[in-house]
Structure 1
């Protein structure tokens, strides 16, 4: 297996650098913004800007690649992302940062799509599963590793902005010198909500709520931690460890969803999320350990939900429609990620730091109620007709090309 991965090492290394840069970029902005006195609402809009740019990147990058080619577009996107993070350091103003964050999201999505399309072209079916697993691990290590670099940092300096820019530039090198042939055209995702709804109402409603909850936590967890007086190291851990917990939870959750009604597993996770957010709302933990532990329990639930929703939609998808279904759900997740930070930032501004968990609580309560109602309306899929559950990278880092790389049972 190792020998077969060596030809892909340049692409995987470029992806690692890209994800490290994205991890630093995503956390240094809210932390530095807090030091600059930015409002919770404006910091929430950073998350909204990122998600909007990310969705647009997934939609329009295939058109750019079709015009000038993969290598030129990748180089342009990585260089632009480096310029954007440096401009953010030079002009610390929230209303300047928000559009820059949208540009960053566009660049990150497009660059990730191109790397994944390269992997798709180079991988044959015999090792696709192992390559996807390796890529998933790189995604997790890069994203969380980039965040953990900030532990104990002096965020008042431009050093970490420059470090993120360096990693964006480093991502250029492996792909620029790679001898791998240019990949096929990128997959173009189309969002057809009526068709997705006919396929699975639970998947459509749940993925929108998951996007709202995950987008809110991802954008505003540092704001909550700062508002209650936690130090920088704890802020970083509070933002990063829930992601690791969610990745670890995907294994047992996936096995349970293959065995039982996926909607019931989703409701179970929603109940855990409701319990965790209730702990924040009513217990109001003050110590670093208590916040990290409850936050990790919340992360184990909310960051394991997305693959279940995709698997449930895949169970009901027509033959040959898996990629279109999963790509459409990813766009809906992105729309939720646009809405969530806006609502969460407004809630924190109006009600204080606990507004974060009030927003997340509301999203999961609605999802649980709707899922329970649908369970009574439609029988579960027979075990023999279920698609295989596939663990996934962080949904906020996924693109339509990620779904192609996964090559699940119902892939076109």
Structure 2
């Protein structure tokens, strides 16, 4: 296992560079935009642009790689992502930042998929679970480090933009030194809403609402924190603590969801999320200690929902469709990520910073109500038909390749039937590679 991990170290490092640069870029833009006087609506559209680009990257990268090859596609993605960051530094205006942010999302998704494809190919079946767990921890640490690095400098200058661009370029190194000459084709997923809804209505609706809530917070948390007077260091903590709390919460949530009806677990988590929404709205907390404590509660709930939803959907999935279902839900999450920041940004412009949590609260109310309805009107899955719960990285930083990497060998073997009801096919490998 140690020898295997050593051989995977370059790919882990490449993924860490991607997530570190993404963490810096994701936080410096709203912080700098707020300092430049951008409206919350325009800053929310940064998140919308990112989500649009990210979904497009997940859908289009497999075809691009099939046409030009892994190494050239990866190099182009990293180079364009670095250029996009620098354009944001040169042209500080929402009219430029929003489409450039979409371009960043496209390139980030494409680069992540290619790294994950390489990692997937080099992972043996016997160590797949451990490798995926390490990969998840590496990405979590890199994202958090990228956000926390903002505490070390001045957001009004050029340093963090240049840093993000440099680290995107550093991510080129793993493929440049890779000895693999013919990586596997990338996983291609197509969105079949009717099939997903037939499989599990609650999963589709829940992941849409979680996309609305989580993307709203992920995009505009820094704006909220700045408007209530937090320092840059506390803003970085406000963005990072919820992610760490959500990661830690997945362990007890996973145990509970394997033992109980997952819908009850989801309803319980959503209820706690509503409590955190309400506390933000009514407490008037503005001190760093109070705000950071509430952010930990918020993150522990909202960032633990996604893996429960995916596990519930896979409980209902036919053998041979697990990866297709998970990949489809990822795209539905992306649709919610398009809606959420737009609505939340407009609300914050019209009604003030606290309306961010009115939007997340509305999403959680709808989720709570629909999950309760389904609990009362649809039978529970028997214990013997449940799949094993699996912790997952943030959906916003996941791709169809992440889903494939996280699958066990039995799921990979099963997800190859010719008549799978939710189509996911492998892109054709370019014979020139």
TM-score by length of 1: 0.99
CA contact (8 A) 1:19 1:146 kept: yes
Aligned position for 1:65: 65
SS at match of 1:150: helix
User: Whole-Å Cα distance in 1 between the matches of residues 9 and 276 of structure 2?
Assistant: 40
User: Whole-Å Cα distance in 1 between the matches of residues 344 and 338 of structure 2?
Assistant: 11
How far 1:241 moved relative to its partner? 0.6
Residues 178-225 of structure 1: CA deviation (Å, up to 9, x unaligned): 112432111111100011001000000000000000000000001111
User: Whole-Å Cα distance in 1 between the matches of residues 239 and 91 of structure 2?
Assistant: 25
How far 1:328 moved relative to its partner? 0.4
User: Whole-Å Cα distance in 1 between the matches of residues 147 and 236 of structure 2?
Assistant: 7
Gaps in structure 1 of 5+ consecutive residues: none
User: Whole-Å Cα distance in 2 between the matches of residues 224 and 168 of structure 1?
Assistant: 28
CA contact (8 A) 1:343 1:359 kept: yes
How far 1:26 moved relative to its partner? 0.4
User: Whole-Å Cα distance in 2 between the matches of residues 193 and 173 of structure 1?
Assistant: 38
Aligned position for 1:148: 148
User: Counterparts of 1:254-273 in structure 2 under 5 Å?
Assistant: 254-273=254-273
Aligned position for 2:338: 338
Residues 219-241 of structure 1: CA deviation (Å, up to 9, x unaligned): 00011111111111111100111
How far 1:410 moved relative to its partner? 4.2
Residue 37 in structure 1 maps to residue 10 in structure 2: no
| 4+ residue runs over 2 A deviation | 408-411
Residues 267-304 of structure 1: CA deviation (Å, up to 9, x unaligned): 11101110001001111101011000001100000001
Aligned position for 1:289: 289
User: Counterparts of 1:108-119 in structure 2 under 5 Å?
Assistant: 108-119=108-119
Residues 307-358 of structure 1: CA deviation (Å, up to 9, x unaligned): 0000000000001000110000000000000100000001101110011000
User: Whole-Å Cα distance in 1 between the matches of residues 280 and 18 of structure 2?
Assistant: 34
Residue 163 in structure 1 maps to residue 130 in structure 2: no
CA contact (8 A) 1:212 1:336 kept: yes
SS at match of 1:180: coil
Residue 347 in structure 1 maps to residue 347 in structure 2: yes
- Name the count of aligned residue pairs: 412
CA contact (8 A) 1:152 1:232 kept: no
Aligned position for 1:195: 195
CA contact (8 A) 1:327 1:400 kept: yes
Residues 151-176 of structure 1: CA deviation (Å, up to 9, x unaligned): 14201110110000110010001211
User: Whole-Å Cα distance in 2 between the matches of residues 375 and 272 of structure 1?
Assistant: 18
User: Whole-Å Cα distance in 1 between the matches of residues 152 and 405 of structure 2?
Assistant: 37
How far 1:119 moved relative to its partner? 1.1
Residues 67-86 of structure 1: CA deviation (Å, up to 9, x unaligned): 01000000000000001101
User: Whole-Å Cα distance in 2 between the matches of residues 69 and 75 of structure 1?
Assistant: 10
Aligned position for 2:212: 212
Residues 358-391 of structure 1: CA deviation (Å, up to 9, x unaligned): 0000000000000000011111111111001110
User: Whole-Å Cα distance in 1 between the matches of residues 204 and 17 of structure 2?
Assistant: 33
User: Whole-Å Cα distance in 2 between the matches of residues 149 and 285 of structure 1?
Assistant: 25
Aligned position for 1:75: 75
Aligned position for 2:178: 178
Aligned position for 1:250: 250
User: Whole-Å Cα distance in 2 between the matches of residues 180 and 68 of structure 1?
Assistant: 16
CA contact (8 A) 1:387 1:410 kept: no
Aligned position for 2:373: 373
Residues 40-74 of structure 1: CA deviation (Å, up to 9, x unaligned): 00000000000110000000000100001000000
User: Whole-Å Cα distance in 1 between the matches of residues 315 and 135 of structure 2?
Assistant: 24
User: Whole-Å Cα distance in 2 between the matches of residues 181 and 117 of structure 1?
Assistant: 13
Aligned position for 2:384: 384
User: Whole-Å Cα distance in 1 between the matches of residues 405 and 152 of structure 2?
Assistant: 37
Gaps in structure 2 of 5+ consecutive residues: 416-433
